Structure 1
Amino acid sequence: MITVHHLNDSRSQRVLWLLEELGLPYEVKRYQRDAKTRLAPPELMAIHPLGKSPVLDDGDVRLAETGAIIEYLLEAHPASGLRPERGTEAGRRFTYWLHYAEGSAMTPLLLKLIFGVIPDRVPFLARGVAKSISKAMNANMIDPQIAAHTALWEAELARSAWFAGDEFSAADIMMSFPVEAAGSRVGYGADKPRLKAFLKTIHARPAYQRALERGGPYSYA
């Protein structure tokens, strides 16, 4: 039996979604973030040295990192239809977005999160300076980077219905978290109709809804 060590409001929601799309039986072991710090609980350190989620157990196999878990599950179920044929244009796009979702997309979004909480994490007398630094970093570096990334996503969805082509794939599952996180942190205006439509479409998928039921509250949905 597959077990997913699942942290609320985290990347691991994508693993639950993929498992539902694959129709595989699995168990969920839930972990809750600290309500004040938003950090993962120390119990996760017993599962993975970095205390991160997701972690997947499948018999004697234990895997961390969403992309590695997704590749493992797709390799175990090659007839799923969730990975385009290798060597094709769709296959190359799939590989790009699968790795891009964590390799490039999450960096500015993580910085947005960090600089957003810095003013509340420093001593009271330093908060004015911290707020000024945070504001400058967002305006001069972080927000322009996020704008560039979201413009890339919007342009890609103008090429085809999904990130790897005309068919839904696990690349869309991987990209769901950065698209959701950016929508939560900066929002999508009238110039991002395809990203808004993408979110509406994936959130309506039955497998996505079942994953929410299994994983518990998820702020990005």
Structure 2
Amino acid sequence: MLTIHHLGLSRSDRIIWLAEELGLEYRLVKHDRDPETFRSPPSLWEVSPMGKAPVIEDDGLVIPESGAIVEYLLDKYGEGRLRPAAGTPEYIEYLHWLHAAESTLMTPVLMNMIAGMSGVDNPAYNSFVHGEFETVLGYMEGVLANREYIAGEFSAADIMVAFPLMMLDSPLIPGPAGGDVLGSYANIQAYLLRLRDRPMWLKAEAIFRPE
């Protein structure tokens, strides 16, 4: 059986959500962060060579990295669901957002979070973060003006993109960009509401965030 290793406040949220959208049976193993260092516990290092989550075990394979896991699960269990047909313009758009989630979008999100957690107050650093948000979020706002989901129909790209956006929308993630980064982006806010209304998101959230 597929095993999903989950670490609180991590990208492993994506994999539980994807598994629920696909209707997969799986075993969930939860790992708790160290309350002082916020690092992953020894139990996760026993599975993942870098102590990171998510990581899955399936048919003797150990697969880390949320993007790689998403592609693996869709290849093996997707049966054509949650991504457009390969070779189509829609597929190229899907690929763009599937990978932009962990590069173009996640970079300023992490920079903002690290600055907030470490107390960094550097004008040049903060200006760069603000500029990146204006570029990336401004572009997404325009894309979502005529779409319900980031690549057209709901897909695994939305599951990837949702995580950094939800980080920005969380009061638990401080940073120099402030607590209302998404406040001026009405289309992105509406998009997040649509994602949070999905039955399988609600089911997944109840699993990884039961409190």
1:102 is displaced (CA, Å) by 0.7
In the alignment, the residues of structure 1 paired with residue 210 and residue 9 of structure 2 have an alpha-carbon distance, to the nearest angstrom, of 7
Q: Is the 8 A contact 2:74 2:81 kept in 1?
A: no
Structure 1 residue 203 corresponds to structure 2 residue 190: no
What are the Cα deviations for residues 32-91 of structure 1, in whole angstroms up to 9, with x where unaligned? 122233222232111112110000111211111111000011111342420101122211
Q: 1:146 to 1:38 in 2, by over 3 A?
A: farther
Q: How many corresponding residue pairs?
A: 203
Partner in structure 2 of residue 126 of structure 1: none
In the alignment, the residues of structure 1 paired with residue 124 and residue 111 of structure 2 have an alpha-carbon distance, to the nearest angstrom, of 9
The 5 Å alignment of 1:113-124 reads: 113-119=113-119
Partner in structure 2 of residue 161 of structure 1: 148
116, 136, 151: which one aligns with 1:149: 136
The 5 Å alignment of 1:88-103 reads: 88-103=88-103
SS at match of 1:6: strand
The 5 Å alignment of 1:1-221 reads: 1-119=1-119, 131=120, 134-165=121-152, 167-184=153-170, 185=173, 186-187=179-180, 188-189=182-183, 191-217=184-210
Q: 1:72 to 1:98 in 2, by over 3 A?
A: same
- The percent of aligned pairs where both chains have the same amino acid is 37
Q: 1:137 to 1:26 in 2, by over 3 A?
A: farther
In the alignment, the residues of structure 2 paired with residue 107 and residue 217 of structure 1 have an alpha-carbon distance, to the nearest angstrom, of 28
- Give the letter for the 2:192 counterpart: L
SS at match of 1:3: strand
- Give the letter for the 2:50 counterpart: L
In the alignment, the residues of structure 2 paired with residue 40 and residue 23 of structure 1 have an alpha-carbon distance, to the nearest angstrom, of 28
Structure 2's unaligned 5+ residue stretches are 174-178
1:17 is displaced (CA, Å) by 0.3
Q: Is the 8 A contact 1:22 1:80 kept in 2?
A: no
What are the Cα deviations for residues 185-218 of structure 1, in whole angstroms up to 9, with x where unaligned? 54222x3111111111111111111111221358
- Structure possessing the higher radius of gyration over alpha carbons: 1
In the alignment, the residues of structure 2 paired with residue 217 and residue 140 of structure 1 have an alpha-carbon distance, to the nearest angstrom, of 37
- Give the letter for the 1:170 counterpart: A
Q: Which of the two has greater helix per residue?
A: 1
1:138 is displaced (CA, Å) by 4.6
* Structure 1 segments (4+ residues) deviating >3 Å: none
In the alignment, the residues of structure 1 paired with residue 134 and residue 97 of structure 2 have an alpha-carbon distance, to the nearest angstrom, of 18
In the alignment, the residues of structure 2 paired with residue 12 and residue 3 of structure 1 have an alpha-carbon distance, to the nearest angstrom, of 12
Partner in structure 2 of residue 123 of structure 1: none
For CA contacts below 8 A with separation 6 or more, give which structure has more relative contact order: 1
Q: Is the 8 A contact 1:83 1:91 kept in 2?
A: yes
In the alignment, the residues of structure 2 paired with residue 215 and residue 80 of structure 1 have an alpha-carbon distance, to the nearest angstrom, of 26
In the alignment, the residues of structure 2 paired with residue 137 and residue 180 of structure 1 have an alpha-carbon distance, to the nearest angstrom, of 25
Structure 1's unaligned 5+ residue stretches are 120-130
SS at match of 1:158: coil
- Give the letter for the 2:74 counterpart: L
Greater Cα offset, 154-163 or 23-32: 154-163
TM-score (norm 1): 0.85
